[in-house]
Copies of this chain bind each other. A is one copy, B any other.
Amino acid sequence: MSTFNVAVVPGDGIGVEVTAQAVRVLEKVLAGQDLQLTYFDLGADRYLRTGEILTDTDEEALSKHQAILLGAVGDPRVAPGILERGLLLKLRFDFDQYVNLRPSKYYAGVDSPLKAPEGTDMVVVREGTEGLYVGNGGVIRVGTPGEIATEVSMNTALGVERVVRYAFDLAESRERKKLTLVHKTNVLVHAGKLWQRYVNEISAEYPRVEVDYSHIDAATIYLVKDPQRFDVIVTDNLFGDIITDEAGAITGGIGLAASANLNPTGTFPSMFEPVHGSAPDIAGRGIADPIAAIGSVELLLANNGYGEQAARVGAAIEEDMKWRASNGSPQRTTVEVGDAILALLD
C-alpha cells in the first residue's frame, strides 16, 4: 500500500476550524489506507511572529506532498493582499495550478437569494496562473498628480490551450456537454482572440460538446436570470474570480463552495480549499460551516485516485443538505456538522 501524503494548511480564522472537520472526514473515508498528514504553520500568526509568509523551505516541503488541503488565509492585523499574494497566489503560481475548478450546484431547500435557483449545476474552470494575476505592471510618479499605474494581463498560448483542453474534457464527461467561454472579446481583443481561437480549434476534437460564448457582463446577468443555462464555463483568472463568487452566492453562499487548484500534470501538488475566506467576524466561535472545506476534501479525493471515497463524501454532503432543507437549516456548530457528516459516512 503506497502512502498518501497530504499537506494540511489550516491557515487563519475559521480556516483552522473548518479544516479540523475536513481532516476528520478525510481520515474516516481513508481509514485503513496509509494516509500521512503533515501540518504546515502558514498564515497570519507566523507572519506576525517571524515576518515569514512562505519560505523556499516551506515550498520545498509542500512540494513533496501529493495534495494540499488549505483552510483560509487573511487576518485583520495584516494588510490586505499580503497573505493572499504571498501565500495563496504564490502557491497557485509556483505549483503551476492552472485549473482552478469551482463547482456550483444548487441543492433543493438551500436558501438562495434567487426566486428560481433550482437546477443550477455548473462548474467554472478558471485559469489559475495567468491573466491580470501575474503581478505585471507598475507605477511611475507615485503619489503625485502625474502618477500612472498599469496592470498587465498576460495570456499565453500554452496557458490558454491547456486550460481550455481541460474544460472540454470536463464538459465531455458531463451529461449536458456544454461549454461556455466567458470573456470580453469585444473590448479585450488581443487576449480575446487567443481564447476564442483555442476554443474554436479544440472544439473540433470534441464534436459532442456544444460550445457557447458569453461576455463577462452578460454572464453576470445570466447567473441571476437563467443560471441553468450554464454547464461548464471556461474563463480567465479575473473573470473566473468574479463569476465564481456570484455563482456561489446564487447557489446558497460561498460558505458552501469548494474549490480545487489543480496541476493536472502532477509535477507539483494540487491544492484544495473552500472559496470562502478566513471570516474574522465569526472566527473562534466554532460556528463556521465546514461544508465547503469538506467539499474540498471530496475534490481532493476525486483528483487523487480515490473516486469511490470522493463519491461517498459527495453523497454525505448531499444527504446533509437534504437534512438541512427538511429541518429549516438550524444553526449548528462546526463540530456538529462534522459529526453529522461522519455519521453519514458510517
Chain B nearest CB, measured from A118 CB (Å): 13
Q: Select the residue from A112, A135, A141, A221 with max chain B CB neighbours within 10 A.
A: A221
Within 8 A of B (CB), among A129-152: 132-133, 135, 137-139, 141, 143-152
Within 8 A of B (CB), among A214-229: 216-218, 220-221, 223-225
Using CB atoms, name the residue of chain B closest to A193: B149
**Measured CA separation A133–B144 after assembly (Å):** 23
Chain B nearest CB, measured from A238 CB (Å): 7
A157 close to B145 (CB less than 8 A): yes
19 A-B residue pairings within 8 Å (CB atoms): A81-B192, A115-B115, A132-B153, A137-B188, A144-B157, A145-B161, A146-B157, A148-B154, A149-B193, A149-B194, A150-B191, A151-B155, A217-B241, A217-B245, A218-B245, A220-B220, A221-B254, A224-B224, A225-B249
User: If A184-B238, A220-B249 touch, does A155 touch B148 (CB 8 Å cutoff)?
Assistant: yes
Which residues of chain B are within 8 angstroms of A154 by Cβ–Cβ distance?
148, 150
Q: Select the residue from A147, A191, A216, A243 with max chain B CB neighbours within 10 A.
A: A147
Which residues of chain B are within 8 angstroms of A249 by Cβ–Cβ distance?
220-221, 224-225
Which residues of chain B are within 8 angstroms of A80 by Cβ–Cβ distance?
185-186
Complex partner residue of A150 from B135, B153, B238, B250, CB under 8 angstroms: B153
A148 close to B137 (CB less than 8 A): no
Using CB atoms, name the residue of chain B closest to A189: B81
Query: Chain A, 280-309, contact with B by CB distance < 8 Å: what is the 0/1 string?
Result: 000000000000000000000000000000
Report which A residues bind B (CB closer than 8 A).
Answer: 80-81, 84-85, 89, 112-116, 132-133, 135, 137-139, 141, 143-158, 161, 184-194, 197, 216-218, 220-221, 223-225, 238, 241-246, 248-250, 253-254
Chain B nearest CB, measured from A116 CB (Å): 7
B197 close to A143 (CB less than 8 A): yes
Complex partner residue of A245 from B137, B149, B157, B220, CB under 8 angstroms: B220
B149 close to A152 (CB less than 8 A): no
**Measured CA separation A102–B225 after assembly (Å):** 20
**Measured CA separation A155–B186 after assembly (Å):** 20
Chain B nearest CB, measured from A73 CB (Å): 11
Which residues of chain B are within 8 angstroms of A141 by Cβ–Cβ distance?
157
Using CB atoms, name the residue of chain B closest to A218: B245
Which residues of chain B are within 8 angstroms of A218 by Cβ–Cβ distance?
245
B150 close to A190 (CB less than 8 A): yes
Which residues of chain B are within 8 angstroms of A145 by Cβ–Cβ distance?
157-158, 161
